[in-house]
Amino acid sequence: MYRLIYKSRSSGPVSRETVSRIIHSSMEMNRKHGVRGALLATATHFLQVLEGEYEALNETFFRILKDPGHHDIRIVHFAPAGRHLFQDWAMRGFGVFDLNRNLEERLREKYGEEDGGVRFPEEEWSALSMVFDVSMMDEPAIS
């Protein structure tokens, strides 16, 4: 089992609908390939954590790379992982743009700022820490 994390810049402004569309379009494909994880979005960037077998993860990532919906794609991490972090999430989406101001302010303080929004990390530990911070917040995931 492997874990891959990447960060990218969206080609257009990101809304809840953008994230919802991506989750819906990937759900079936991810289930078929045994891939799961989480997708975080600010108004300008994506951060995605994908878990699955080596071949499935490569195939999925190279498909995602070709998507014109984003660019400046940077691999943050790709390595074997001992166990799944996302046991029961096929793929969950979290918008970091419409959290309440207090929460967003705290994330900015902890992770920094980029393009007026929360900055997505470029280190594995920090990216995973953010996924857990965001998933613990009361705001419901986007489905």
Ligand X SMILES: Cc1cc2nc3c(=O)[nH]c(=O)nc-3n(C[C@H](O)[C@H](O)[C@H](O)COP(=O)(O)O)c2cc1C
CB nearer ligand X, residue 42 or residue 60: 60
Return the residue of 5, 49, 57, 91 that touches ligand X, per CB under 6 A: 91
Q: Nearest 5°: phi and psi at 83? A: -150, 160
Candidates 18-26, 95-103, 119-127, 133-141 — which segment interacts with ligand X by CB under 6 A? 18-26
Judged by CB, which is closer to ligand X: 48, or 107? 48
Question: Least Å distance between CB 69 and ligand X?
Answer: 4
Confirm if 142 and 95 have CB atoms less than 8 A apart: yes
Amino acid at 135: S
Q: Report the distance separating Cα 143 and Cα 88, nearest Å.
A: 14
**Phi, psi for 114 (deg, rounded to 5):** -150, 130
The 3-state DSSP class for residue 13 equals coil
Q: Tally Cβ neighbours within 10 Å of residue 65.
A: 13
Minimum distance from residue 101 beta carbon to ligand X (Å):
25
96 binds ligand X (CB under 6 A): no
Binding positions for ligand X, 42-71, rule CB under 6 A: 46, 48, 60, 63-64, 67, 69-70
Cβ count near 43 (within 10 Å): 17
Q: Which residues bind ligand X (CB under 6 A)?
A: 22, 25-26, 29-30, 39, 46, 48, 60, 63-64, 67, 69-70, 91
